[in-house]
């Protein structure tokens, strides 16, 4: 008689459920804290429509970069240069508009193409050598910082609100029913969701997406299966460059100034969002839905800390702890489910031995 298949736990069957449950628990705690401090007769401002839309505005740009990071990390790579590359793109775009006077659209295209070309160069080096992507992109980060400083002469490049069309309110006149504040949805929020949708479809329903997973799981096996591993690794960095370019333009529209610090920390936030969402650093595992949960989770932490009027130092501690807990929870749940599965298997074997013993005695 064949042994029974080991049953999978609920968290193993639904890989995004673990981080979603942690996220929901966090939201419940924040709501309870607000009800305790402000009184049960007031609606919790954390889940008010105006604040939820505010969170969307805050995570829109890092979310776009995080989606690109998800694709790169599923393929087995990583990119530490996205923060400085975003700063470089913002300076190129702002300089093209305010100093070179080449027009808004050509300046935006120049900024995006700068990101695509530079990421393509890094992707080519990574895909054609055995050097770790961590080292190559770390060098890229330093290089892009120097290029940005040379281009702007270590000064900020101020525009005259030429990109305001990217942050107009698409629901002008709508108000929050609880506090009557104006609701705002800028175009870049919709662009963020559109990119997330397209990336999800790409990974789940195309041959290209399946090949990305195959390369991340085992490059050798993917090669033996006829996949051009080098070009696949190159292509994910081209996509990363395109999304960084779009995100940088959106970020520039928000602040109206091209400056070296614009993308500072963007690589840390995007990697944290992706890791919280369940994407494996070793590659081959992850999805866009999990990344979206990680994006909203990390954005909600900063928003909640501001609402509770906690200092920024506490926010860094909270974000770091969430990353550790979210990643560790996966290993803990796997160990627990494995322990329970072994107990069930031992019980089944004991029952089988007992049944065989009874059948032997009955034949005698």
- Distance separating alpha carbons of residues 297 and 273, to the nearest angstrom: 8
Closest CA to 186 of 172, 174, 168: 168
Using one digit for the tens of pLDDT, what is the confidence trace for 213-237? Answer: 999 999 999 999 999 999 999 999 9
Q: Give pLDDT, residue 363.
A: 56
Q: Give pLDDT, residue 225.
A: 94
User: How many domains would you assign to the chain?
Assistant: 1
Confidence label for 143 from pLDDT (cuts 50, 70 and 90): very high
Report whether pLDDT(43) > 90. no
**Average pLDDT for residues 110-128, to the nearest whole number?**
97
Phi-psi region of 186 (alpha: psi -120 to 50; beta: other; left: phi over 0): beta
**Average pLDDT for residues 280-286, to the nearest whole number?**
89
Q: Give pLDDT, residue 359.
A: 58
Q: Give pLDDT, residue 10.
A: 45
Q: Give pLDDT, residue 18.
A: 80
Using one digit for the tens of pLDDT, what is the confidence trace for 153-173? Answer: 989 999 999 999 998 999 998
Q: Give pLDDT, residue 230.
A: 96
Residue 3 within any structural domain of the chain: no
Report whether pLDDT(74) > 50. yes
**Average pLDDT for residues 196-200, to the nearest whole number?**
97
Report whether pLDDT(327) > 80. no
Residue 29 within any structural domain of the chain: yes
Cα 246 to chain centroid, rounded: 15
Report whether pLDDT(111) > 60. yes
Residue 249 within any structural domain of the chain: yes
Report whether pLDDT(7) > 60. no
Distance between terminal CA atoms of the chain? 23
> Are 78 and 55 spatial neighbours (Cβ–Cβ below 8 Å)?
no
Confidence label for 342 from pLDDT (cuts 50, 70 and 90): confident
Report whether pLDDT(4) > 80. no
- Distance separating alpha carbons of residues 103 and 82, to the nearest angstrom: 25
**Average pLDDT for residues 3-21, to the nearest whole number?**
61
Q: Which of 84-93, 215-224, 275-284, 338-347 has the lowest mean pLDDT?
A: 338-347
**Average pLDDT for residues 209-215, to the nearest whole number?**
96
Name the more confident of 8 and 76: 76
Confidence label for 360 from pLDDT (cuts 50, 70 and 90): low
Residue 4 within any structural domain of the chain: no
Closest CA to 158 of 103, 99, 108: 99
Q: Which of 81-85, 113-117, 245-249, 322-326 has the lowest mean pLDDT?
A: 322-326
Name the more confident of 158 and 357: 158
Report whether pLDDT(41) > 80. no
Closest CA to 122 of 91, 84, 153: 84
Name the more confident of 2 and 121: 121
Confidence label for 9 from pLDDT (cuts 50, 70 and 90): very low
Tokens representing residue 278 in the block: 């369940």
| pTM metric for this prediction | 0.87
**Average pLDDT for residues 284-309, to the nearest whole number?**
91
Residue 133 within any structural domain of the chain: yes
Task: Report the alpha-carbon angle 58-70-15, nearest 5.
Answer: 100
Domain extent for 202: 10-40+57-357
Average pLDDT, rounded, for the chain:
88
Report whether pLDDT(1) > 60. no
């Amino acid at each position: 008689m064949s042994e029974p298949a080991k049953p999978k736990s609920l968290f193993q069957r639904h890989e995004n459920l673990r981080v979603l449950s942690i996220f929901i628990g966090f939201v419940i705690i924040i709501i309870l804290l607000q009800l305790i401090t402000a009184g049960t007769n007031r609606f919790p401002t954390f889940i008010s429509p105006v604040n939820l839309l505010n969170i969307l505005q805050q995570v829109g740009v890092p979310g776009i970069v995080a989606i690109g990071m998800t694709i790169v990390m599923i393929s087995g790579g990583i990119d530490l240069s996205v923060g400085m590359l975003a700063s470089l793109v913002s300076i190129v775009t702002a300089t093209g508009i305010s100093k070179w006077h080449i027009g808004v659209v050509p300046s935006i295209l120049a900024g995006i193409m700068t990101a695509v070309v530079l990421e393509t160069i890094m992707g080519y080096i990574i895909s054609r050598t055995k050097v770790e992507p961590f080292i190559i992109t770390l060098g890229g980060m330093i290089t892009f910082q120097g290029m940005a400083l040379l281009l702007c002469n270590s000064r900020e490049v101020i525009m005259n609100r030429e990109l305001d069309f990217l942050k107009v309110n698409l629901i002008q006149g709508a108000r929050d029913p609880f506090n009557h504040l104006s609701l705002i949805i800028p175009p870049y929020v919709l662009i963020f969701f559109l990119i997330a949708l397209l990336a999800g479809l790409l990974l789940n329903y195309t041959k290209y997406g399946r090949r990305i997973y195959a390369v991340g799981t085992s490059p050798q096996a993917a090669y033996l299966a006829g996949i051009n591993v080098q070009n696949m690794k190159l292509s994910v960095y081209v996509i990363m460059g395109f999304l960084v370019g779009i995100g940088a333009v959106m970020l520039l529209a928000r602040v109206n100034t091209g400056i070296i610090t614009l993308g500072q920390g963007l690589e840390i936030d995007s990697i944290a969002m992706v890791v919280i969402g369940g994407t494996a650093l070793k590659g081959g595992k992850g999805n866009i839905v999990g990344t979206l949960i990680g994006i909203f989770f990390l954005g909600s932490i900063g928003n909640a800390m501001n609402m509770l009027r906690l200092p920024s130092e506490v926010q860094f501690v909270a974000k770091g702890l969430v990353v550790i807990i979210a990643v560790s929870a996966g290993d803990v749940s796997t160990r627990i489910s494995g322990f329970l599965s072994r107990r069930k298997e031992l019980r089944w074997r004991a029952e089988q031995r007992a049944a065989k013993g009874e059948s032997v005695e009955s034949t005698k």
